[in-house]
Amino acid sequence: AQKVTQAQTEISVVEKEDVTLDCVYETRDTTYYLFWYKQPPSGELVFLIRRNSFDEQNEISGRYSWNFQKSTSSFNFTITASQVVDSAVYFCALRDSNYQLIWGAGTKLIIKP
Amino acid sequence: SQTIHQWPATLVQPVGSPLSLECTVEGTSNPNLYWYRQAAGRGLQLLFYSVGIGQISSEVPQNLSASRPQDRQFILSSKKLLLSDSGFYLCAWSLSGTGQPQHFGDGTRLSIL
């Protein structure tokens, strides 16, 4: 069965610290897609990144980077030099042969000034 | 570019009253459309999805229903609201095809009194 686990319910760091959000997934499919979304306090969900199972290259976008490791079924998200505006709930999600997204429970990230 | 509009932003309704939430997408044709519910402090639960006009799939048995009267219009309804229907409702769209990311509206905060 498909499953996404975000074991960190809440993380609190001081501004400018680096922080990594963990995501572990389960699927029997060889073809699948992984996603990260950000939900700021205002509520809307913002798409951040999509990764397919055949592309294990790590990705960097500004202060954001993603580490995809199939060997450990993980797709971790790192924010470098965190800022207060990064405070949000972050969701990891999986889509395989099933049509719908399987969502993690989310990690609430608090960046203190 | 594509945009998604969802309204109203907030809604307070008495128990037993009807509900109609509307979502429209612009800038694309034949999108997949989704309705999610998010309880406070929790992850997302898929309620309905649609791959075309008049085609609705329900994920969770409940007193809610969805309709897609036009290609880019998705409506969430209820004849009689329950207290348990309170939550944050999100509409999303995606291009058809495997692995396409979903893009979300701003959401509707529904409170049942």
Question: pLDDT at position B97, please?
Answer: 80
Residue (of B2, B30, B27, B17) closest to B79 by Cα position: B17
Q: Is B31 on the interface with A (CB under 8 A)?
A: no
Residue (of A62, A69, A105) closest to A85 by Cα position: A62
pLDDT at B24 over 90: yes
Q: How many angstroms separate the CA of residue B34 from the nearest CA in chain A? A: 10
Q: Are A104 and B101 an interchain contact pair (Cβ–Cβ within 8 Å)?
A: no
- The conformational region for residue A44 under phi > 0 = left, psi -120 to 50 = alpha, else beta, is beta
Q: Which of B44, B47, B57 to mutate to test the interface with A (most CBs of A within 10 A)?
A: B44
Residues of B in contact with A45 (CB under 8 A): 44, 90, 92, 104
Question: pLDDT at position B41, please?
Answer: 72
pLDDT at B40 over 80: no
User: What value does the mean pLDDT take over residues B35-50?
Assistant: 88
d(CA A89, CA A8): 11
Q: How many angstroms separate the CA of residue B57 from the nearest CA in chain A? A: 11
pLDDT tens sequence across A75-94: 999 999 999 999 999 999 99
Q: Answer whether B74's CB lies under 8 Å from B68's CB.
A: yes
pLDDT at A5 over 80: yes
Q: Is A14 on the interface with B (CB under 8 A)?
A: no
A63: confidence class by pLDDT, cuts 50, 70, 90 = very high
Question: pLDDT at position A97, please?
Answer: 76
